[in-house]
């Protein structure tokens, strides 16, 4: 595998959004994408050393027992603080943004018409592990 190809985990319980983001990133960046519908599933694969994790804030809209994005963010940072985490959410409240940054997220992207392009730019500018 080419050492310049970034490994990106997309963690979102919205399967259509995940697949659309995967398609967009594959067209715009050099990357290998892995999709996960729960944070717990993502955590089981952290040993694969992703360069970036795109993490939804609300991960329990389909599986009510699934942990939310903040809990998963905290777990990711405890297990490997070097992994870059980008929060992706429809939540625009400043206190939520600040809370995720305080907990270790490098970026916070609101799900809007520019979200995919913002994520692609973050992925392009982020160094590979």
Tokens of 33: 């994408």
- Span 25-44, average pLDDT: 94
Domain contains 36: yes
Domain contains 1: no
* pLDDT-above-90 percentage for the chain: 76
The mean of the pLDDT values for the chain is 91
Domain contains 46: yes
Domain contains 33: yes
Tell me if 118 sits within 8 A of 109, measured CB to CB: yes
Domain membership of residue 52 as a residue range:
6-125
| CATH classification of the domain holding 118 | 3.40.50.2300
Domains: count for the chain: 1
Does 108 have pLDDT greater than 70?
Answer: yes
Tally of CA atoms within 13 A in the half-sphere of 13 that contains its CB: 16
Largest CA distance in the chain: 40
Confidence (pTM): 0.91
Domain contains 79: yes
Tell me if 39 sits within 8 A of 23, measured CB to CB: no
Tell me if 118 sits within 8 A of 88, measured CB to CB: no
* pLDDT-above-70 percentage for the chain: 94
Does 38 have pLDDT greater than 70?
Answer: yes
pLDDT value at residue 2: 45
pLDDT value at residue 60: 72
pLDDT, tens only, 41-94: 999 999 999 999 999 998 876 667 777 899 999 999 999 999 999 999 988 889
The helix (run of H) or strand (run of E) holding residue 72 is helix 69-79
Domain contains 48: yes
Distance CA 53, CA 18 (A): 12
């Amino acid at each position: 595998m080419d050492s310049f190809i970034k490994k990106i985990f997309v963690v979102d319980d919205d399967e259509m959004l995940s697949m659309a983001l995967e398609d967009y990133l594959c067209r715009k960046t050099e990357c290998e994408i892995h999709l996960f519908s729960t944070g717990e599933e993502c955590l089981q694969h952290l040993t694969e050393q992703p360069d970036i994790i795109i993490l939804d804030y609300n991960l329990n809209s389909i599986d009510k027992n699934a942990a939310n994005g903040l809990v998963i963010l905290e777990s990711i940072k405890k297990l490997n603080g070097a992994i870059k985490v980008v929060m992706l959410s429809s939540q625009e409240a400043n206190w939520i943004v600040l809370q995720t940054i305080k907990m270790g997220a490098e970026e916070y992207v609101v799900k809007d018409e520019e979200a995919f392009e913002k994520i692609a730019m973050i992925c392009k500018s982020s160094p590979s592990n």
